[in-house]
Amino acid sequence: MEIESFRALLTEQGQALLAELREFTADQELALATRLRREYRPLAPLGVPPTELVRAAFEQARLRQRAEAKFGADARSMYFTQHGVEQATRRSVAEWRAGRFAALGVKRLADLCCGIGGDAVALARAGIAVLAVDRDELTCEVARANAAALGVAELVEVRCADVADIDTDGFDAVFTDPARRTSRGRVFDPEAYSPPLSWAVEAARRTPFGALKVAPGIPHELVPEGAEAEWVSDRGEVKEAVLWFGTAAAEPYRATLLPGPHSLTGGALPDPPVGPVGRYLYEPDGAVIRGRMVAEVVESTNGRLIDPMIAYVTSDELRPTPYAHAYELTDVLPYNVKKLKALVKERRIGTVVIKKRGASVVPEELRRQLKPAGPNTVTVIVARTAAGPVMMLGQPAGLAM
Ligand SMILES: C[S@@+](CC[C@H](N)C(=O)[O-])C[C@H]1O[C@@H](n2cnc3c(N)ncnc32)[C@H](O)[C@@H]1O
């Protein structure tokens, strides 16, 4: 999107157009676009042809619809760019982080790489004054418009600059969310982030508190000395990892599960015991697994691993924990498709939920082979163990009969 077109959307005419597109659906697009181009011809702001104004409004309306998954109802009054919506931190995660900064007593923070302002807005809503920096001019205009649209403009100063040129002296904290994509796709080497990981670590250490976002798959050996690494999941999906500085964390790792929030710290327990599959199977949340805190789940469920390399915990007791889904097992058998098919038929099972770890099973393919039919449901968990692949049949604990 051109910056002039975006500015035109902020004029009275642009706002009226966006209001018309609040609820539009793809099948109305052609007729609606024709009508709007006609109606807005005499109104289009100087320098922007009416066709371009209408095109930009449709693009923005589509981006808003896409962004609802991240921002909920806020998305309807926010502004986006294509990259901005893809890279922005979702509201739930940004609010969690902002809450952590606020709890540390942070009052003034430099958000280096602010994008369209997903984090900046959440920080301001937590009462923190934010200097939001991005080097892309259009992105900065969008971030400014978002701060205004969501009523936090007074707490957010957006500056268009390279983060390397920002003096963070006098700030309580720095947060950096580097760009991890180029025109060629996702970047895996943290030194190829923009700005690179090493630069962001230095920046985070220059203020009393610091945090920086990295890919959830960051190798643990890249977590710098003295930092706390936090993995955050939202509704069971790991969204990001963040390196925190200055928090004086007693434990090196943290797994935070949203909504909740549930926050587990650890990472220093010895390797957990391994043993036979018991009555319950626990499937730890992805943030717990990434944070190497499966041992904490083993401990809290009085359990053991089913295999030293597989993140499934088993126990003879049901000890509910927010950090793992528990299944009550009815059968534990060597993996055998023919046998499974016979059981599915015999038990009149029409819905098969398939989970797997360490086994080369393709769930959709297996489900097709099983030909499920009937009123009943089963969860089948296939996993590799030292004794060969096993299939564990059961139900989410609490639902089991
Ligand atoms: C992942 S996005 C930030 C998303 C943001 N936290 C949010 O929630 O909306 C990264 C941003 O960093 C910006 N960026 C990358 N390198 C930069 C640099 N050296 N100086 C300033 N901004 C930079 C990009 O333009 C991009 O908008």
pLDDT digits (tens, 9 = 90+) for 347-365: 999 999 999 999 999 999 9
For 35-56, write each residue's pLDDT tens digit. 998 888 777 777 788 899 999 9
Q: Is 58 helix (H, G, I), strand (E, B) or coil?
A: helix
pLDDT at 241 over 90: yes
Q: Identify whether 80 is part of a domain.
A: no
Residue 217 shares a structural domain with residue 285: no
Q: How many domains does the chain have?
A: 3
Per-residue pLDDT at 346: 97
Q: Identify whether 79 is part of a domain.
A: no
Residue 239 shares a structural domain with residue 303: no
Domain boundary among 237, 264, 291: 264
Instruction: State if residue 240 touches ligand 1 by the CB under 6 angstroms criterion.
Output: no
Domain housing 303: 280-396
Residue 309 shares a structural domain with residue 346: yes
Residue 224 shares a structural domain with residue 289: no
Average pLDDT of the residues in 98-124: 98
Q: Identify whether 72 is part of a domain.
A: no
Residue 208 shares a structural domain with residue 332: no
Confidence of residue 71 (pLDDT cuts 50, 70, 90): very high
Residue 237 shares a structural domain with residue 342: no
CB neighbour burial string for 274-305, b if at least 16 within 10 angstroms, e if fewer: beebbbbbbbbbbbbbbbbbbbbbbebbebbb
Per-residue pLDDT at 400: 45
User: 343 vs 29, which has greater pLDDT?
Assistant: 343
pLDDT at 401 over 60: no
Give me the half-sphere count of Cα atoms (radius 13 Å) on the Cβ side of residue 148. 9
pLDDT at 399 over 80: no
Residue 127 shares a structural domain with residue 198: yes
Q: What is d(CA 271, CA 85) in angstroms, rounded to the nearest whole number?
A: 40
Q: Identify whether 128 is part of a domain.
A: yes
pLDDT at 74 over 60: yes
Look up residue 373 and give its two tokens. Answer: 């039919």
Whole-prediction pTM value? 0.93
Going from the C-alpha of 167 to that of each of 162, 164, 173, the distances in angstroms are 11, 8, 12
Confidence of residue 26 (pLDDT cuts 50, 70, 90): confident
Q: What is d(CA 193, CA 196) in angstroms, rounded to the nearest whole number?
A: 5
Ligand 1 centre to CA of 114 (Å) is 5
Ligand 1 centre to CA of 113 (Å) is 3
Confidence of residue 29 (pLDDT cuts 50, 70, 90): confident
Residue 214 shares a structural domain with residue 113: yes
Domain boundary among 39, 67, 95: 67
Residue 359 shares a structural domain with residue 259: no
Domain boundary among 36, 67, 98: 67
Instruction: State if residue 118 touches ligand 1 by the CB under 6 angstroms criterion.
Output: yes
